[in-house]
Amino acid sequence: MGLERQIRRPARAAFAHVPMEVTVARFVQNAKIEHYLRLIAESARNPNWDDDRHKTLLMLLAEEIAKDKKPLS
């Protein structure tokens, strides 16, 4: 019951109870959120600020976060 028991299981074993489709969908959602965050940061640093594009990116990010909060079945 020492340190050997505290070693983390591989990710595959941790998600063994979750169907592969759900795992892939969660991965894609997380990738989209990271991508939108990166695009928003680039947009904010851009000297040629495009307000409509920035608002669209914020809207897409909000929609993806809302999807992420819903449980995947």
Give the total number of structural domains in the chain. 1
Q: Are 61 and 40 in contact (CB under 8 A)?
A: yes
**Any domain includes 9:** no
Percentage of the chain exceeding pLDDT 90: 34
How high is the pLDDT of residue 9? 52
Cβ count within 10 A of residue 64 = 19
Residue 60 has pLDDT above 90, yes or no: yes
Tokens of 62: 């909000």
Token pair 């594009």: residue: 53
Which pTM value belongs to this model? Answer: 0.65
Helices (H), the chain: 11-14, 20-45, 51-69
Domain that holds residue 51: 19-68
Token pair 């020492």: residue: 2
Low-confidence winner among 15-24, 37-46, 53-62 (lowest mean pLDDT): 15-24
**Any domain includes 11:** no
